[in-house]
Structure 1
């Protein structure tokens, strides 16, 4: 039996499968999710308010022995995080970094180095919501919310992509009209890509923005 579940900010299929204990592929391919699947080609990019049908959970207890310490081990699914960092001069190439907030057993950060394109790639448990990526040599840190990106078909997804690409200032700015700020960001993006400058979100601009962002 399936039940409707309303997607919240930060939800994505792999995370929902872990939290609610179902097989992601089976649920995504279920006929009750045909409409959602047609609207959202990528199940890891869901929008708040989307409705996905998931199995009704049955209450199952774990065996235990009274009077003794009982130990349980659970496996946690992981998802890939792929980011590219640039500054005004181009890619932040071969830059040492630390990833904090992964909740490792020893609490130590994950260390690595960006590639020639400024790319950072690592896996995070689906239980992690927020991470921090620190670049020690530059003394700068960036905060990322895992699963927070919205589909490119939504205005919220367009705004977030423009923010990540540096065309739109993140967060509320009471001195700037939101629609005017979005139009200005679209104009700047269109110019950077050699697109007709209209300040409007046409199909070509949406496609180019999604491609430039990587998803």
Structure 2
């Protein structure tokens, strides 16, 4: 019988599924989670208190030849980490980086879009990024939905339009107006559905 789980801070569908030995795709696409999909649109962004239905485990039988080694891979494992680096509105391309998540280290260069992309464990909560002689501590899975003020502020900070998530309301309105102007929207500082959609699109989640 399907069970329900109440999302906590830092949870996403992938981490919840991993903790319960389920496929993230199967959990996200479960009919019981239809309203959750409509409200959140992305399995990577949940709000604490969201209810996620965990479907029953499926038992699959796969014919295999004896005397051989067979490899099975669970869909959605590992999870993907994506981070785009910008400076003064332009992507930081071909910049060496070092990303440490637990006991796993990824090293490389950003691509032509300033993107860092690699696989990470579904339950990862923190990462350390070294780039350009600076070190950053990244909290994974803590981004709130764009429909919340916390999610709105966090995306504006990450995109460089807002200095701090605790900024005053006037500063928030000005940041929204600057974002709207840069992305071809009416720069009135009012957060409507078009602004939220464009902000989600620009941020990537």
2:174 matched residue in structure 1: 184
Q: TM-score, normalised by structure 1?
A: 0.78
Deviations 1:181-215 (A, max 9, x none): 22121012122223212111012222221221122
Q: Among residues 114, 117, 120, which one is paired with 1:124 in the alignment?
A: 120
Q: Contact 1:78–1:124 at 8 Å: present in 2 too?
A: yes
Distance 1:41 1:100 in 2: 29
User: Is 1:203 aligned to residue 193 of structure 2?
Assistant: yes
Q: SS in structure 2 opposite 1:35?
A: helix
Check whether the contact 2:157–2:165 (CA below 8 A) recurs between aligned residues. Answer: no
Whole-Å Cα distance in 1 between the matches of residues 52 and 150 of structure 2? 20
Match of 1:144 among 135, 138, 143: 138
**Structure 1 26/185 Cα, relative in aligned 2: closer, same or farther at 3 Å?**
same
What residue number does 2:49 align with? 49
Structure number with larger C-alpha Rg: 1
Instruction: Give the match's secondary structure for 2:188.
Output: coil
SS in 2 for 1:9: coil
- Range that drifts further, 191-200 or 78-87: 191-200
**Aligned counterparts, 1:3-22, within 5 A:** 3-22=3-22
Give me the whole-angstrom Cα distance separating, in 1, the residues matched to 2:107 and 2:31.
43
Instruction: State the SS of the aligned residue for 1:151.
Output: coil
What is the rounded CA distance, in whole Å, between the counterparts of 2:116 and 2:80 in structure 1? 10
> Gaps spanning 5+ residues in structure 2: where?
58-73
Unaligned runs of 5+ in 1: 58-74
C-alpha contact (below 8 Å) 1:94/1:116 kept by paired residues:
yes
> Counterparts of 2:154 and 2:9 in 1: how far apart (Å)?
13
Structure 1 segment 1-215 matched on structure 2, within 5 A: 1-54=1-54, 77-88=77-88, 90-104=90-104, 109-135=105-131, 138-172=132-166, 176-177=167-168, 179-215=169-205
SS at match of 2:52: strand
Give, in whole Å, the separation in 2 of the partners of 1:37 and 1:84. 25
Mapped partners of 2:25, 2:93: distance in 1: 37
Distance 1:167 1:116 in 2: 23
SS of the counterpart of 1:120?
A: strand
Task: Tell me the matched-pair count.
Answer: 188
TM-superposed deviation, 1:33: 2.1
SS of match in other structure, 1:189: helix
